[in-house]
């Protein structure tokens, strides 16, 4: 692990500890739980379910399963802390989760690598492309990363939630972005 990774991990832990304070009765759905770094530092002792397709950290709390399959077939509407700490592209899953959530107050953490994708391939994930109607490879697309992702989030939440606080950080190695959202139901 490079010094950058440590700094990024430190940020991820700090922002989670800060945002989950908005939620009273915390119910965590950790959809990329891995070996449980976020669990061990932020979610221990809370109502918690972890999902990962490759590795889990506690057989009593976690399921070894594809996260989209889990979300599609289970009732997830009462979770209020959703962790999408992806290595790659979380937006397809974000869309499904958003459709199913019902809680009044919800915190979502997202790790996304589309900034790097936009730099390397002039393109981005299918889900983001659809929202912004991006049909071609576009040089310098990464410059519009924040606008593209902001539009995507706004469109997906607009009928249900309003955002009360949002934080965005590009990692030190510029490979990932960390997005944290606290939102409240419109009704």
Ligand X SMILES: C[S@@+](CC[C@H](N)C(=O)[O-])C[C@H]1O[C@@H](n2cnc3c(N)ncnc32)[C@H](O)[C@@H]1O
Exposure string of 123-159, with b = 16+ CB inside 10 Å and e = fewer, is: bbbebbbebbebeeeeeebbebbeebbeebbeebbee
* 158 touches ligand X (CB under 6 A): no
In whole angstroms, how close is the CB of 25 to ligand X at the nearest point? 22
Structural tokens at position 86: 């992806």
Q: Could you say which of 47, 66, 89, 132 contacts ligand X (CB under 6 A)?
A: 66
Identify residues 76-105 at the interface with ligand X (CB under 6 A). Answer: 85-87
Q: Answer whether 28's CB lies under 8 Å from 43's CB.
A: yes
* 53 touches ligand X (CB under 6 A): yes
39, 94, 102: which is closest to 76 by C-alpha? 102
Question: Would you say the C-alpha torsion 104, 110, 114, 116 has a positive or negative sign?
Answer: positive
In whole angstroms, how close is the CB of 112 to ligand X at the nearest point? 11
* 55 touches ligand X (CB under 6 A): yes
Question: Which range, of 35-43, 129-137, 141-149, 178-186, touches ligand X by CB under 6 A?
Answer: 35-43
Q: Could you say which of 23, 51, 108, 128 contacts ligand X (CB under 6 A)?
A: 51
Longest CA span, the chain: 47
* 184 touches ligand X (CB under 6 A): no
Q: Answer whether 178's CB lies under 8 Å from 169's CB.
A: yes
Size of the site for ligand X (CB under 6 A): 17
Q: Could you say which of 23, 28, 29, 38 contacts ligand X (CB under 6 A)?
A: 38
* 33 touches ligand X (CB under 6 A): yes
In whole angstroms, how close is the CB of 31 to ligand X at the nearest point? 7
The CA angle 59-60-64, to the nearest 5 degrees, is 40
Q: Based on CB atoms, which residue is closest to ligand X, 32 or 79?
A: 32
* 180 touches ligand X (CB under 6 A): no
Q: Count CB atoms within 10 A of the CB of residue 10.
A: 11
Q: Which residues bind ligand X (CB under 6 A)?
A: 32-38, 51-55, 66-67, 85-87
């Amino acid at each position: 692990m490079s010094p950058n990774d440590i700094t990024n991990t430190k940020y991820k832990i700090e922002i989670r500890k800060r945002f989950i304070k908005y939620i009273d009765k915390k119910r965590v759905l950790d959809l990329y739980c891995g070996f449980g770094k976020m669990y061990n530092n932020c979610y221990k002792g809370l109502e918690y379910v972890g999902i990962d397709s490759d590795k889990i950290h506690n057989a009593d709390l976690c399921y070894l399963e594809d996260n989209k399959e889990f979300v599609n077939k289970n009732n997830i509407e009462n979770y209020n802390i959703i962790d999408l700490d992806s290595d790659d592209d979380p937006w397809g899953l974000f869309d499904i989760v958003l459709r199913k959530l019902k809680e009044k107050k919800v915190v979502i953490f997202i790790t996304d690598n589309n900034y790097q994708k936009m730099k390397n391939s002039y393109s981005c994930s299918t889900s983001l492309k659809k929202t912004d109607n991006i049909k071609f490879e576009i040089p310098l697309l990464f410059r519009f990363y924040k606008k593209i992702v902001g539009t995507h989030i706004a469109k997906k939440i607009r009928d249900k939630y309003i955002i009360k606080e949002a934080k965005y950080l590009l990692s030190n190695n510029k490979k990932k972005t960390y997005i944290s959202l606290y939102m409240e139901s419109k009704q």
